C-alpha cells in the first residue's frame, strides 16, 4: 500500500516550482498534488547556484531564492506548500516507474500512484569517469548541478582563498564558476577541448570578447585539449591536473562542467524519446496521454522553428513548459499548442548577455567589441532567426527578442551591421 494522488510532479527543481504555482493559481484542492524530489530542499531557482550563491559577500541563501522569485513571482517556501495542501516529498528518489499501472516506486520501497504524472526530472552532470578519466572521490573536485553540490563548492572555495583552481569545461558552468572563483580571489586556469569558450553558442568573435575580459581578470585559458589524469596527495586531495600533452597544472581545487544528461532513465522503453529527451507534443504530453514532461528532460516542438523538436537546457523554458503543461492538464480547452521563443542568458562579473532564437545561418556581428555593447544576428533564408546582445538594457533586449519572433526580413546586411540593436528596434 502507498499514497495516491491525482497529480504527481516527479522532480523538485525549477519546473516543479513553476508547475506548483500554476496548479495553485488554477485551484488545485488540498491533497490532490504531490511533488517528489531527491533534493532535500523545496524547489528553488537553480541559476542562483552559479551566481549569487557563490558570492564571497552577502551570498544568496535559501529561503531567499525558492521558486518563483526568478520571474518576480511569489516565493514558494515550504510553508506555502503546506498552506496550499501540496505535499512535498523531499529527500526521496524514485527508482522505478510504471506508466501502465500509473505508479512510482521510491528507493525506500513506497509506491505512489497518480492519475496524471508530470515528469520534471531535469538532468544530471556528466562525470569525467564517463570520458575515461579515472576519478577518485577527492573532496576538492566539484561538480555543480544541485544544492548539495553548491554547498560543497562554497566550502571548498572557502579553503582556497588566494590559491589556484582548474576549471574543466568551457561552457556555462565553466564560465560562470570561473568568474565566481575570481571574485573569491582564486586564480583560475580554464581547460576545454574546443578552440574557444561557449562553443555551442558563441561565435569566435563573441568568445574572444569574453576571453579577453576574463584574461584581464587573470584567468588563464588552455584550449583545444582535455585532462588525462589527476595527481593526488596522501589525503586523496587533487594537487595537480595532468593534461593529455603531459602539462601539469598545480591546483588547490577543481571545478568540472562538462555537460549534462537528461534524467530519462526511468521512462526509457515506456515513453517515446527524441533528441535525448522525453518527446512531448505542444501540450507537453508524452506518448502516454496521462504523462507530461517539462523542463530539461522534455523534447518539444518549437513552432518558431517549423515545429522542429528541440530539447532546451535553460531556465526560461523550464518555467514556461511547466506552466503550459499544467494549463493543458487543468483547462485543455483554453490553451493552444506551446509557442515558444527560446531564450538563454548569463551574467558574469559585471557583464550580462541575452540570446533569443536559433544560432543557425549566417552571422552578422555589430556594436563595440571593445567597450562592450555588442552582439550578433543569425540570418537564415534572408530573415533574422537568432540574436545575441551583451550589455543591453531592457528595451534593447525586448527589441532583439521581437526581431527574432517576427523573423525580420534582412534586405541589406551592411545596414544590419551598422544599425545593430537599432535595426531590431524597427521591428
Determine the interface stretch with ligand ISD among 18-26, 45-53, 184-192, 400-408 (rule: CB under 6 A). Answer: 45-53
Q: Which does 38 bind (CB under 5 to 8 A by kind): ligand ISD, ligand NAD, ligand FAD, none?
A: ligand FAD
Q: Does 52 bind ligand ISD (CB under 6 A)?
A: yes
Least separation in angstroms between residue 6's CB and ligand FAD is 19
As given in the structure block, the three cell numbers for residue 136 are 577518485
User: Three-class SS string for 23-38?
Assistant: HHHCCCCCCCEEEECC
Select 156 or 315, whichever has its Cβ closest to ligand ISD. Answer: 315
Instruction: List, in sequence order, every residue forming a beta bridge with 374; answer none if it has no partner.
Output: 367, 390
Binder to ligand ISD among 39, 45, 313, 390 (CB under 6 A)? 45
R_g (Cα) of the chain, nearest Å: 22
Secondary structure of residue 243 in the 3-state scheme: strand
Of 169-228, which residues contact ligand NAD (CB under 6 A)? 169-174, 176, 192-194, 199-200, 226
Helices (H), 270-367: 315-330
Strand partners, 344: 355
What is the C-alpha to C-alpha distance for residues 170 and 179, in angstroms, rounded to an integer?
12
Distance CA 250, CA 238 (A): 9
Number of neighbours of residue 44 by Cβ within 10 angstroms: 28
Shortest Cβ 65–ligand ISD spacing (Å): 4
CB of 241 vs ligand FAD, minimal distance in Å = 21
48 or 294: CB nearest ligand ISD? 48
Cell representation of residue 315: 531556465
Our finding on whether 47 is near ligand ISD (CB under 6 A) is yes
Cβ 392 vs Cβ 405: under 8 Å: no
39 binds ligand ISD (CB under 6 A): no
> Which residues contact ligand FAD (rule: CB under 6 A)?
11-16, 36-39, 46-47, 49-50, 93-94, 120-123, 144-146, 263, 266, 295-297, 313-316, 318, 344-346
Q: Which does 194 bind (CB under 5 to 8 A by kind): ligand FAD, ligand ISD, ligand NAD, none?
A: ligand NAD
Among residues 260, 328, 391, the alpha carbon closest in space to that of 23 is found at 328
**Residues engaged in binding ligand NAD (CB under 6 A):** 50, 131, 168-174, 176, 192-194, 199-200, 226, 257-260, 313-314, 344, 346
Amino acid at each position: 500500500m502507498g499514497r495516491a494522488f491525482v497529480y504527481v510532479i516527479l522532480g523538485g527543481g525549477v519546473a516543479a516550482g513553476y508547475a506548483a504555482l500554476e496548479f495553485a493559481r488554477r485551484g488545485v484542492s488540498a491533497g490532490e498534488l504531490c511533488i517528489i524530489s531527491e533534493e532535500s530542499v523545496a524547489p528553488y531557482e537553480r541559476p542562483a547556484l552559479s551566481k549569487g550563491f557563490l558570492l564571497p559577500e552577502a551570498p544568496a541563501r535559501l529561503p531567499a531564492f525558492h521558486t518563483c522569485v526568478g520571474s518576480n513571482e511569489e516565493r514558494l517556501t515550504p510553508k506555502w506548500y503546506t498552506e496550499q495542501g501540496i505535499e512535498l516529498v523531499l529527500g526521496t528518489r524514485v527508482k522505478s516507474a510504471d506508466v501502465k499501472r500509473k505508479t512510482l516506486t521510491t528507493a525506500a520501497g513506497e509506491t505512489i500512484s497518480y492519475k496524471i504524472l508530470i515528469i520534471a526530472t531535469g538532468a544530471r552532470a556528466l562525470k569525467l569517469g564517463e570520458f575515461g578519466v579515472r576519478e577518485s572521490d577527492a573532496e576538492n573536485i566539484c561538480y555543480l548541478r544541485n544544492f548539495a553540490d553548491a554547498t560543497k563548492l562554497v566550502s571548498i572555495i572557502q579553503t582556497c582563498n588566494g590559491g589556484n583552481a582548474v576549471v574543466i569545461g568551457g561552457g556555462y558552468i565553466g564560465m560562470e564558476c570561473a568568474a565566481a572563483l575570481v571574485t573569491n580571489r582564486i586564480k583560475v586556469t580554464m581547460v576545454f577541448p574546443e578552440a574557444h569558450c561557449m562553443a555551442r553558442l558563441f561565435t569566435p568573435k563573441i568568445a574572444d570578447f569574453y576571453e579577453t575580459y576574463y584574461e584581464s581578470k587573470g584567468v588563464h585559458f588552455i584550449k583545444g585539449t582535455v585532462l588525462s589524469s589527476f595527481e593526488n596527495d596522501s589525503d586523496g586531495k587533487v594537487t595537480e591536473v595532468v593534461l593529455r600533452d603531459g602539462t601539469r597544472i598545480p591546483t588547490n581545487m577543481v571545478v568540472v562542467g562538462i555537460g549534462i544528461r537528461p534524467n530519462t532513465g526511468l521512462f526509457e522503453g515506456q515513453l517515446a524519446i527524441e533528441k535525448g529527451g522525453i518527446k512531448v507534443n505542444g501540450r507537453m504530453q508524452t506518448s502516454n496521454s496521462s504523462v507530461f514532461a517539462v523542463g530539461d528532460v522534455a523534447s518539444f516542438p518549437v513552432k518558431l522553428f517549423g515545429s522542429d523538436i528541440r530539447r532546451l537546457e535553460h531556465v526560461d523554458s523550464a518555467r514556461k513548459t511547466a506552466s503550459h503543461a499544467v494549463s493543458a492538464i487543468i483547462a485543455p480547452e483554453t490553451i493552444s499548442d506551446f509557442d515558444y521563443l527560446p531564450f538563454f542568458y548569463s551574467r558574469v562579473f559585471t557583464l550580462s548577455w541575452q540570446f533569443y532564437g536559433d544560432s543557425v545561418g549566417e552571422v552578422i556581428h555589430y556594436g563595440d567589441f571593445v567597450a562592450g555593447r555588442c552582439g550578433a544576428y543569425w540570418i537564415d533564408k534572408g530573415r533574422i532567426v537568432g540574436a545575441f546582445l551583451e550589455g543591453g538594457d531592457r528595451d534593447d533586449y525586448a527589441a532583439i527578442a521581437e526581431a527574432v519572433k517576427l523573423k525580420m526580413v534582412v534586405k541589406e546586411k551592411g545596414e544590419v551591421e551598422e544599425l545593430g540593436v537599432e535595426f531590431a528596434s524597427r521591428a
